[in-house]
Structure 1
Amino acid sequence: MTAGQLPRLGVADTLVRTAHRVQRIFADVSRSFDLTPQQAQLLCRLTEGAMTMTELCAALNLEKSSLTGLVDRIEARSLVHRIRHPQDRRMVRVDLTGEGAKLAHAVHDAVAGSLDALVARLAGTDDATITAALTPLVTDNTTNA
């Protein structure tokens, strides 16, 4: 490989390296808001609306005990609150507080800005093409990969 030449990677290697790059961006942004990446991910998922603990476990790929601790820690910071089901005390929904919503949107915007800057480096490829190519990979719920 000569200077300035990009390495030739296969699709799998490229996807893995891209995932690591996205995780690093998410971690850096999270740290700048005094959050862990997991806390930031949870807040960003809740911008779509309240979710049950079961839905959050699936969305964040966490075990219930890990999620409970995560929710406990950000609830202590007044960023989320639990909403008990009126008839089933076992069912709990988690929702953002006002402060949590502001922070979640700020984190989301910062992550999106960093990712937009990363994608802008792809010469000759527009956002619609990238989105169309990747959407099936992130919306297919038939695999855990």
Structure 2
Amino acid sequence: MKETLGAASGLVRLTFLVQNLYAEVGRACDLTAAQAQMLCSLSDRSIGMAQLSGMLCLERSSLTGLVDRAQQRGLVARENDPHDRRAVKVTLTPEGSKALHRFNDELTERLERLLQELPATERDRFAKTLSRVVADAPAAFTS
């Protein structure tokens, strides 16, 4: 007999499953989980270091190291903020965009495989429910 989960327990287990897939796909794409999260956050815009620190829940010193390493790999670039001479924004480079798309494509494929055994009507209902639950959460990908 299959175990029936409550909504909270199911979400916790789903989070664990997704985090593991996220890390596994990141490793396959030569990205740490933190690098993948940063690239996802930068997918369609430049972001200031202070805002990026808050989005990624990282101390500024940790973020500086993360950005430094990603910049050394050619994944991101720092730009002066045209509206504030003291501020710096981080943006994807073409190489970073390529790495993000590879990561996104692989992760999406792996996540879709999780649901392939569900009938189409259940997948659709699940997608609609998820859309309602995460409606106010920031988007990870633009696609």
Q: Which amino acid aligns with 1:25?
A: L
Which residue number in structure 1 is paired with residue 100 of structure 2? 104
Which residue number in structure 2 is paired with residue 60 of structure 1? 56
Aligned length: 136
Per the TM alignment, residue 87 of structure 1 is displaced from its structure 2 partner at its CA by 5.2
What is the alpha-carbon distance in structure 1 between the residues aligned to residue 88 and residue 113 of structure 2? Answer: 38
What is the alpha-carbon distance in structure 2 between the residues aligned to residue 39 and residue 79 of structure 1? Answer: 9
What is the alpha-carbon distance in structure 1 between the residues aligned to residue 101 and residue 118 of structure 2? Answer: 26
Q: Which amino acid aligns with 1:109?
A: D
What's the TM-score once normalised by structure 1's chain length? 0.83
- Helix, strand or coil: the match of 1:90? strand
CA distance 1:138–1:70, shift in 2 (3 Å): farther
CA distance 1:8–1:87, shift in 2 (3 Å): closer
Superposed CA offset, 1:98-137 (max 9, x none): 111111111011111111111223334133x223212343
Which residue number in structure 2 is paired with residue 126 of structure 1? 123
Q: CA RMSD in A?
A: 1.8
Greater relative contact order (Cα < 8 A, sep 6+)? 2
Q: Which amino acid aligns with 1:89?
A: R
Question: 1:13 and 2:2 equivalent?
Answer: no
Question: 1:32 and 2:28 equivalent?
Answer: yes
Question: 1:23 and 2:19 equivalent?
Answer: yes
What is the alpha-carbon distance in structure 2 between the residues aligned to residue 89 and residue 105 of structure 1? Answer: 31
What is the alpha-carbon distance in structure 1 between the residues aligned to residue 82 and residue 42 of structure 2? Answer: 21
What is the alpha-carbon distance in structure 1 between the residues aligned to residue 39 and residue 128 of structure 2? Answer: 26
What is the alpha-carbon distance in structure 2 between the residues aligned to residue 7 and residue 105 of structure 1? Answer: 36
- Helix, strand or coil: the match of 1:47? coil
Q: Percent identity of the aligned residues?
A: 43
- Helix, strand or coil: the match of 2:89? strand
Q: Which amino acid aligns with 2:24?
A: D
Per the TM alignment, residue 59 of structure 1 is displaced from its structure 2 partner at its CA by 2.5
Which residue number in structure 2 is paired with residue 51 of structure 1? 47
